[in-house]
Chain A
Amino acid sequence: MLNREISDDTRRVARAAARWLALLESGQASERDHLALQRWRDVHASHEQAWQKIQALRSRFGGLPAELAMASLDRPDQGRRRMLKGMLGFAALAPAAWLVSRELPIDAWRADLATRVGERQRLTLADGSVLDINTDSALNFDAGARRLTLLRGEVALKVAGSAPFVIETSQGRATLGAGEVCVRQQGDSCQFSVLGGSLQLQASAYQTQVLQAGQRVTLRAGRIQSTQSFDTAALGWRDGVLMANDQPLGDFLRELDRYRPGILRWSPALESLRVTGSFRLADTDQILDLLAASLPVEVHKRTRYWVTLVPREKTA
């Protein structure tokens, strides 16, 4: 959009540069034309500047995948017309699903309980058991049958009383008596981290294992992939805190991304910087500001929902 007033002079120069370029591209330029163009460029700095700009413009289109770019930029514009006339059909234009979340929200429909990106919920049952639901999660929950099916995301369950809880995931099922477990389902893998008590785990491929407090198991393709110990501080999300202890920035940002609606991107050069600290999840914008204050990174906010981190340029 052209906000500022454009001087007649600027217009004249722009027009001339455009004509020169089109003449060259048409293949009809003679030797004399080339010489005349050179003279035009030499006669004034603004001419040369315009000429450089118009050349740079061409290179902006150069690196794009032609097919994708053509389909997108040359899209049929009926929608646009209709929009301009009556502002109709706006509600139908939600952002593309993968813009908001990398998964289709289909499983959320089946769920009894769901949290949006950035949202957390805590439920306390009559017997004192506590269920925490982390960001962007969906689950079926039957307190009477003491059964929980995690469809997506992450929950922490603290079971009080003697009746065990059954936790189902796409990769396997676990039974927990009095104790505490955190379950995270992401893509085609699933993780059980036991915080207290003991957990009986049955992978879909019929492997079983008993896990004790402090152990974490990763399941993939219905099989137990690995068992390891873990740092309970990493589950700070239940208290609304994101903890990092000398963590690679890339890993930290992938975690942070789960809590932020919209797009968070960063330059690969930043992956291996180190982060330490505990950050309040209630204000992820502030977390980004803190990163910018403590690390050599710059935070570019195109909009609240489109944030890019790049290495800070050294000032001379």
Chain B
Amino acid sequence: MGSLAVSSEQAFHNLYREHRSWLEQWLSRRMGNGWDAADLSQDAFMRVLAGSQSISELQEPRAYLKTIGKRLLINLYKRRSLEQAYVDALAQLPQACAPSPEERWLVLETLQALDELLDGLPHVVRRAFLLSQLEGLGYRDIAERLGVSERSVKRYMVQAYEHCLLVELC
């Protein structure tokens, strides 16, 4: 309210002007690739803009940007590692079973969305869930496969369903 207050739009412009090239360099050093870094740094500022944090009240803008940058790096890494696993799996398929290029994209797109959906679940929970959804295994078979009790499988499934539902509901 006071005369010293800077409009949030102005604060964002200042933040962008003062730290954009620094953030780009910081990302570039971690990625070894300026092209992706420029893209990611734009994303980071978009996040800042969309976020709830008041920009003019930031004490350590670079620490804040770094946190966002790290998160974006991790997301990118996950997407790339999924792509890699997918490409490897495709290569294993006999020629006759390989999907068309168009299908490959559609499947990859879906996988990426599901990978994000499942993000944050413990590995064993994720695996139990996938065995049930993708391979259609019953809880008893999953329990056998994972070497745990059926009760545990049920607990894992509740955890996975709840997690996904919360992502969807929010």
Contact = CB atoms under 8 A, between A and B. Distances in A.
B15 interface: no
Interface in A53-91: 53-54, 57-58, 60-62, 64-75, 77, 79-80, 83-84, 87, 90-91
Contact of B107 (A23, A53, A68): A68
Given A79-B81, A93-B77, A19 B88 contact: no
B157 A263 contact: no
B162 interface: yes
A87 B70 CA distance: 9
A54 B166 contact: no
Interface in A2-55: 2-4, 6, 10-11, 14-15, 17-19, 21-23, 25-27, 50, 53-54
Interface in B102-152: 102, 105, 107, 110-111, 113-115, 118-120, 123, 126-127, 130, 132-136, 138-139, 150
Contacts of A1: 119-120
A64 to B, nearest CB: 6
Contact of A19 (B139, B158, B170): B158
Interface residues of A, number: 58
DSSP class of A's interface residues: helix, strand, loop or mixed?
helix
Given A67-B89, A71-B85, A57 B164 contact: yes
Contact of B168 (A19, A53, A75): A53
Contacts of A75: 81-82, 84-85
DSSP class of B's interface residues: helix, strand, loop or mixed?
helix
B87 interface: yes
A316 interface: no
Contact of A27 (B33, B93, B138): B138
Contacts of B33: 91, 94
Given A68-B90, A304-B39, A73 B165 contact: no
Interface of B: 30-33, 39, 70, 73-74, 77-78, 80-90, 92-93, 99, 101-102, 105, 107, 110-111, 113-115, 118-120, 123, 126-127, 130, 132-136, 138-139, 150, 154, 157-162, 164-170
Interface of A: 1-4, 6, 10-11, 14-15, 17-19, 21-23, 25-27, 50, 53-54, 57-58, 60-62, 64-75, 77, 79-80, 83-84, 87, 90-91, 93-96, 98-99, 102, 263, 265, 303-305
5 residue pairs, one from A and one from B, having the closest CB atoms: A91-B32, A18-B161, A71-B89, A75-B85, A61-B133
9 contacts: A6-B170, A10-B170, A15-B162, A22-B157, A27-B138, A60-B113, A68-B107, A69-B111, A90-B73
